[in-house]
Structures are given as structure tokens and as C-alpha cells.
Amino acid sequence: MIDPRDAGIALRLAGVRRVLAVSSGKGGVGKSTCAVVGSLILARRGLAVGLLDLDFQGASCHTLLGCRPGIPVEDRGLLPLEPAPGLRFATIASFIGERPAAMRGSALAEALREMLAVTRWGALDVLVVDMPPGIHDSTLELTRVAPATRHLVVATASRVALAVAARLLRYLGEADAPVVGLAENMRRTAAEAGSAVPALAAREGISFLGSLPFDGTLEAATGDPGRLVLTPFAVSLEQVFVRALGSDLDPSP
């Protein structure tokens, strides 16, 4: 049976030039930090940027941004929040606050469809999506309703993180979901630059986008968008996003 919201989702995304899903095989690798800081960097470069937190059971983008998301304004749809200049933001935390989102798989897919169908993004150069970790119902559903979505996969050099990232990359390949590349997070020393993460990218036939340092200043900058974009982490992440998006970094005329 055709879900009538699919047509609504296509309409809501019609003005979005590129959807970039920041994904990871497991939690704790800094995926949400990459999504938030990357969005702030793109907005700072003059792009019209949206950020959608789809990690319903672990929503944290609003904490990183330092905003208390209230109920969005309704005007022929729900208008995203604007927690920083040039950034539009939508999150389930607008509706549930800090309460836990206890939802089964089918309910998560329903919530994803509902948020995509009602959020009025308008014209965007890039919509960055913070995905839940792993091969999740949200991953499957986003692939179905927005098949042009590209995935930027984040991993650390941990053997456990790499093993799970490998499974995610294989799933995305089997689902014909485009992957722009793999980024290594939390690199602690220069010697680790030759770690197993680039080797995994090579084995899977995707681009290695670069290594991001472990940055002890990030915790103190959390909640302050202006400070986040000035961290050493942000400097390295900008190059990762430049490689991931290429010509899509040119703002719309």
C-alpha cells in the first residue's frame, strides 16, 4: 500500500540540493559531533544548511548546539528552528524534550516519515542528517523515501568500531545507497594516521576522507556554536566535508 506521505516528503525535499547522512556502524564514535559541527561549518561558508536529528533514541544535536528546542512554528508545515546563523534545525526533542523515546522499529520508521513529511525546509544547499548508529529502521526508511541521499560514514580505529563499520558499508552497498566516503575520528597521534581506517575504505572501494584528531577542547565548547567551529577538530572536519561534497559546496545563486 502506498503511503500518501511519500509524495509529501518528495515535495518537502524538492528544494534541497543534497542530502548528506552522517552515519556510523556503532555509537560513541563522534557521529553527532561530526554532523553538528559540519553543519555549522557549511553555514559559515555561506550555504543554506539544514540539520535533521534522526537519532530519535539518542537525540543530542540540540545539546551540542546549546538550544532548548520548543514546539516549532506551524505555517503550511513545521518551520525548522534556527539555532545558529544560516542553520535550520529539526529534532524530535522539540516534541518529547529530554524524555526517553521508547519506540519499536515500526514506530521509528513512522516517526521518520512524519518528520520528513511535515518539516518545511524550503531551499537548502545541503540537508545534513544525523543518523542513528548501525543498520537501523531509520537507515532502511531513509534509503527508501530519499534514495538520492549520500552517506558519510564515521569510524574510529578501534577494531570493534571497524568491524561494525564494515558491515554498515556492505549494507549500504547492497542497498545501492551512495557513500561519499569514510572518515576516521578521534585519532590521538600522528602515527595513527596510517591506521586500519584507510585500509577499510580501500577494501570497500570508497574514498577515505581524512582523519580527525581527538580534541580535548570539544567538551568545553559543547553548547556554543561559535566556539565549536573554532576548535582544531572543526578545522580538520572542514576538509572532510570539502572532500565529501565537492562542487556541492558552491552556494546556490
Q: Which of the 8 DSSP states describes residue 72?
A: P
Question: pLDDT grade, residue 98 (50/70/90)?
Answer: confident
Indicate the domain borders of the chain: 21-246
Helix axes 232-245 and 31-44, enclosed angle (nearest 10): 80
CA 79 from centre of chain: 19
Stretch 111-125: mean pLDDT: 92
**pLDDT surpasses 60 at 242:** yes
Stretch 185-197: mean pLDDT: 75
pLDDT value for 135: 81
* Tens digit of each residue's pLDDT (9 = 90 or more) over 27-61: 999 999 999 999 999 999 999 999 999 888 789 99
pLDDT value for 104: 67
Question: Quick one: what percent of the chain has pLDDT higher than 90?
Answer: 65
Helix axes 196-204 and 159-174, enclosed angle (nearest 10): 20
Question: Quick one: what percent of the chain has pLDDT higher than 70?
Answer: 93
* Tens digit of each residue's pLDDT (9 = 90 or more) over 56-90: 878 999 999 999 888 889 998 999 999 999 999 99
Select from 231, 209, 199 the least CA-distant residue to 218.
Answer: 231
Stretch 188-214: mean pLDDT: 86
pLDDT value for 100: 64
Select from 49, 125, 54 the least CA-distant residue to 83.
Answer: 49
CA pseudo-torsion sign 211, 217, 218, 221: negative
Q: Given the C-alpha cell 577515505, which residue does it identify?
A: 208
- What's the CATH code, domain 21-246? 3.40.50.300
